[in-house]
A and B are shown apart, each in its own frame.
Chain A
Amino acid sequence: MTELMEQAPAAGTAVPAAHAGVVGGAAGAAAGGTVVELTMQQALNRALADALAADDRTLVFGEDVGRLGGVFRVTDGLRRRFGARRVFDTPLAESAIVGMAVGLAMSGWRPIPELQFDGFAYPALDQIVNQLARMHYRSRGTLPMPVTLRVPSYGGIQAPEHHGESLEALFAHVPGLKVVSPSTPREGYRLLRQAVADPDPVVFMEPKSRYWDRESFDPAAEAEAAEAAATGPGSPYTLRIARRGRHATLVTWGAMVKRCLEVAELAAEDGVELEVVDLRWLSPLDAEGLAAAVRRTGRVVVVHEAPRRAGLGAEISALVMERCFDALRAPVARVTGYDVPTPAGPLEAHYLPDADRILLAVQAVLEG
Chain B
Amino acid sequence: MDTSESLPLAASAPLAEPPAAADSGLLRRLYRAMALTRAIDREALALQRQGVLPAYVQVLGQEAAQVGSAAAFDPARDFAFPTYRELGAAMAWGVDPVGYLASHRALWHGGLWDPRAARFAPVNAVVGGPVTHAVGWALGARLDGTDGCALAYFGDGASSQGDVHEAMNTAGVWGLPVVFFCQNNRWALSVPTEEQVAGGSVAARAAGYGIAGERVDGNDAVAVHAAVRRAVERARSGGGPTVVEADTYRRAPHSTSDDPTRYRDRSEEAHWAARDPLELTRRHLLAAGAADAEWIAAADDAARRGAREAADAVSALPEPGGEEMFAHVFARPTATLREQQSQWREWREYQVEYQEVAGRD
What residues of chain A have their CB less than 8 Å away from a CB belonging to chain B? 1-2, 4-5, 8-13, 59, 85, 90-91, 93, 95-96, 98-109, 111, 126-127, 130-131, 135-144, 175-176, 178, 199-200, 235, 237, 284-285, 287-288
Is the C-beta of B18 less than 8 angstroms from some C-beta in chain A? no
Q: CB-nearest residue of chain B relative to A90?
A: B170
Q: CB-nearest residue of chain B relative to A137?
A: B328
How far apart are A281's CB and chain B's nearest CB, in angstroms?
A: 10
Known A13-B145, A130-B126; judge A100-B170 contact (CB<8 A). yes
Cα(A175)–Cα(B244), bound, Å: 36
| B contact residues, total (Cβ < 8 Å) | 53
How far apart are A244's CB and chain B's nearest CB, in angstroms?
A: 24
Q: CB-nearest residue of chain B relative to A175?
A: B329
Identify A140's interface contact among B108, B141, B145, CB under 8 A: B108
Identify A100's interface contact among B110, B115, B139, B146, CB under 8 A: B139
Chain A CB within 10 Å, residue with most, of B109, B124, B167, B330: B330
State whether A137 touches B140 (Cβ < 8 A).
Answer: no
How far apart are A195's CB and chain B's nearest CB, in angstroms?
A: 14
Is the C-beta of B318 less than 8 angstroms from some C-beta in chain A? no
Q: CB-nearest residue of chain B relative to A234?
A: B335
Is the C-beta of B169 less than 8 angstroms from some C-beta in chain A? yes
Cα(A127)–Cα(B146), bound, Å: 26
**Inside 8 A of B122's CB, which chain A residues have their CB?**
135, 138-139, 143
Q: CB-nearest residue of chain A relative to B146?
A: A11
Is the C-beta of B79 less than 8 angstroms from some C-beta in chain A? yes
Is the C-beta of B259 less than 8 angstroms from some C-beta in chain A? no
**Inside 8 A of B50's CB, which chain A residues have their CB?**
none
State whether B140 touches A104 (Cβ < 8 A).
Answer: yes
Identify A127's interface contact among B129, B138, B170, B331, CB under 8 A: B129
State whether A138 touches B109 (Cβ < 8 A).
Answer: yes
25 contacts between A and B (CB under 8 A): A1-B175, A11-B145, A90-B170, A91-B170, A93-B166, A99-B132, A99-B135, A100-B133, A102-B132, A104-B140, A105-B136, A106-B140, A107-B144, A107-B148, A130-B126, A131-B126, A136-B328, A136-B331, A138-B108, A140-B110, A141-B331, A143-B115, A199-B330, A199-B331, A287-B335
State whether B328 touches A100 (Cβ < 8 A).
Answer: no
Cα(A59)–Cα(B139), bound, Å: 11
How far apart are B173's CB and chain A's nearest CB, in angstroms?
A: 6
How far apart are A312's CB and chain B's nearest CB, in angstroms?
A: 14
**Inside 8 A of B137's CB, which chain A residues have their CB?**
103-104, 106-107
State whether B115 touches A142 (Cβ < 8 A).
Answer: yes
Cα(A102)–Cα(B146), bound, Å: 19
Cα(A279)–Cα(B15), bound, Å: 66
State whether A139 touches B329 (Cβ < 8 A).
Answer: no
State whether A284 touches B139 (Cβ < 8 A).
Answer: no
Is the C-beta of B147 less than 8 angstroms from some C-beta in chain A? yes
**Inside 8 A of A4's CB, which chain B residues have their CB?**
174
**Inside 8 A of B160's CB, which chain A residues have their CB?**
none
